[in-house]
Amino acid sequence: MRVIFIYSKKVTIILTVILFMIVMFGLESRFHEKLKVASLNENNIYKLKEYNDDNMRIVYKLPENWGNTEKKINVEKVIYHSEFYDRESSIGGYIQLQSKNRELQDVVSAFGQDKNKVQEYNYRPIKVNGYKGYLVKYKLQSFVDNKQMKFVQYYIESQGDRAVVTFYAPDEKYEKNFERIFEAITDTIKLQ
C-alpha cells in the first residue's frame, strides 16, 4: 500500500496563485472597458451615436460630434458605405460592408505591394468582438493636396461579409492616442 504525502504548504500556495490569476484576469477585462471610455473622454468624445445599414447587417457607433454621410458606391462587392470626419482632430475615414470575394490574407498582403505609393506598410492579425481580422497601418500621399496621410484600417470578417473600417489623418497632425480612439470605435461594430 502506498502512502501519498500532500504538502499542504505547496498546495495552498499553488491554489492561492491560481485564484489570484483568475481575479486579476476578471479585473483586467473590467478595466479594459473603462480605459476605452477614458480614452474617448480624454479626446473630448463623450457620447457615441449608433448607425447601421438598412438591413442591420452592420451596426456601429461614432462620436456624436463627428459628421457622417452614407453614400451609394457602384462597386459590386460594396454593400454599405459611410464616410465620417471630425474637423477638430482632422480624423476622417469610412466604414464599408463588403461581400467576400477573396481571402482576407490576399487582400491585405496585395495592397502593400505598391511601394511607389504606399509607405511603412505593415499588418497583423487581430480579433474584434470575436471576429477574426487584420489591423493594417500605412502612409500614403494624398491625391488632393499632396500631404502625407497616415492610415489605420481594420478588416473584420463574419460568415458572409467583411467590414472595412478606415481611419486617416494628416501625418503632421497624427497623435499616438488616435489609435485608442480608433480601437474604441472599431470595438462597437457588430456584424450579422
Show me where the domains of the chain are located.
Answer: 1-42, 46-191
What is the average pLDDT score of the chain? 81
Three cell numbers written together for 101: 470575394
Query: Does residue 95 carry a pLDDT above 90?
Result: yes
CB atoms within 10 A of CB 165: 23
DSSP 74: -
pLDDT (tens digit, 9 = 90+) per residue, 33-77? Answer: 565 655 565 555 668 888 888 888 889 999 888 888 888 888 888
pLDDT band, residue 174 (cuts 50/70/90): confident
CA dist 59 and 192 (Å) reads 9
Q: Is the pLDDT of residue 92 over 80?
A: yes
Fill in the DSSP letter of residue 172: G
Query: Cβ contacts of residue 46 below 8 Å, gap of 6+?
Result: 40, 64
| CA separation, residue 170 to residues 63, 141, 178 (Å) | 19, 10, 12
Q: CATH number of the domain at 46-191, please?
A: 3.40.1000.10
Report whether 43 contacts 177 (CB < 8 A): yes
**How much of the chain exceeds pLDDT 70, in percent?**
79
Query: Lowest-pLDDT range, 1-10, 74-83, 156-165, 172-181?
Result: 1-10
**Per mean pLDDT, which range of 113-117, 120-124, 134-138, 181-185 is the poorest?**
113-117
pTM summary value = 0.75
Q: Quote the distance between the C-alpha of residue 72 and its chain's center.
A: 23
Q: Name residue 156's amino acid.
A: I
